[in-house]
Structure 1
């Protein structure tokens, strides 16, 4: 299953990267004469309500959806790592920072994202910020828990006794302990961001409608689902396969980095 997930995800990512060179039609070209057409030799999975090639739009939409997912994962992990290290190591800052983090975590992700988009307006950067902000507190809590545990280790106490600076201790002794859990958390954030972007676009609070993304395609096709089910079926299937593949790879990375799982494999 992991190998299958890796192959499917690689196909989706490569198709999105090279989309301008592999799509058979211009994804923005309007052709009212062929609107809502079913699959045929010209339009492989049909057309949408404006006569645009659905296959070309789904492939091009992967660029936006994957960019949002990867971007949200990178930014949230980087910001959460910095704040989590400070909160876990500096005791007086922990009490202040974690109360703010708890307040953000009390608001559901999708509601906070909708509020941010409504306040700043729809757009790629706004959606990226709206998805990233709710994910940062979860990374902060993860890093903080790792740092609190590692801070009591003998090698950290020895470094403190030797007079090492706080910056050196965090960089050399605490940061390496956070790498493995952050890799796993990053995969989950990426999958969650892709789903949230699709939800926001479907609700009309995401990427500009003229920009193809998987959520936008489904949002535009919801009124014509009974005429051409493929308008929602195909982008929805790609979203599901992408998220499932990322989650399976995240589970595999977690098992590979967990010493207890490795020990079980040796015992067997």
Structure 2
């Protein structure tokens, strides 16, 4: 084989992460349906002021606890507020809490996990603190934080994020401990490469795919935790519509109008299931082994 022939042999094109996500989403009917459903929930929450047929906070005692009708598609609650409009508007708080909690937990967990896995003395101190924090049930820790600081959106966000950070730290630490023993990392250390550059160039890329799937689990867990806190009266201000608040207000009237609890509960379940399915699809798209199989095909 001549040098000219070798030069003409181009390496196979690697599919981008976006193309892998598109391929997997559209190749699986279940994931495609989950993506569409999640997109509809997110878009309806984003454009809630223009989508909802009624004011979600307007009190109408004359039509309280009405069953579903052409005017009120899902009926009304104990104060005569349109249930459909409140569920759509409540998605704003629930989704914002879920997404922000996932982003914050992943960022803080990534930073702490990198240092714990790469610097041994940091590992000895930090992981004992992480083990102690994980010994406290997350829901109890969240309730304690909200009770100390008062109920608000940012308090709930902090209360949900703090219990999730240790799980991300342990995940990143295990990945860094494995990658630290690889020959290319040892070669970088021997060459005198700065620690921050080794982390950015060699260690962080090895954590991205697992962190994405972990982030989706955190997002789904945060939505559920916010609903639990609001249902227990320790979450968002009751005057602000959220899926948990709607169920909390309707539990007293469950026998009269079960839809007040069932409809927001169904939306929470569908949203969590869709996020988990989509997270699995993104994980598969970013898995190097699946990308390699795609090239071989």
Same-fold call, TM > 0.5? yes
Distance across 2 between alignment mates of 1:73 and 1:133: 11
Matched, 1:180 2:188: no
Aligned residue pair count: 268
Distance across 2 between alignment mates of 1:261 and 1:27: 46
Distance across 1 between alignment mates of 2:161 and 2:136: 14
Runs of 4+ more than 4 Å apart: 259-268
Indicate which of 160, 163, 175 corresponds to 1:131.
160
Distance across 1 between alignment mates of 2:69 and 2:274: 29
Indicate which of 115, 136, 141 corresponds to 1:112.
141
Indicate which of 172, 177, 196 corresponds to 1:143.
172
Structure 2 unmatched ranges of 5 or more: 1-29
Q: 1:267 to 1:176 in 2, by over 3 A?
A: closer
User: Computing the radius of gyration over CA atoms, which structure comes out larger, 1 or 2?
Assistant: 2
For 1:77-96, what per-residue CA distance to the aligned partner results, in whole angstroms no more than 9, with x for missing partners?
Answer: 00000000011111110000
Distance across 2 between alignment mates of 1:198 and 1:188: 16
Matched, 1:122 2:154: no
Structure 1 unmatched ranges of 5 or more: none
For 1:195-244, what per-residue CA distance to the aligned partner results, in whole angstroms no more than 9, with x for missing partners?
Answer: 00000000000000000000000000000011111101110010000000
Indicate which of 5, 17, 41 corresponds to 2:70.
41
Indicate which of 244, 249, 257 corresponds to 1:220.
249
Spell out the pairing of 1:184-203 with structure 2 (5 A cutoff): 184-203=213-232
The structural deviation recorded for 1:173 is 1.1
Distance across 2 between alignment mates of 1:76 and 1:153: 27
* Match in the other structure for 2:193: 164
* Match in the other structure for 1:4: 33
Q: Could you state the TM-score of these two structures normalised by the residue count of structure 1?
A: 0.97
Quick check: 60-69 or 118-127, which moved more? 118-127
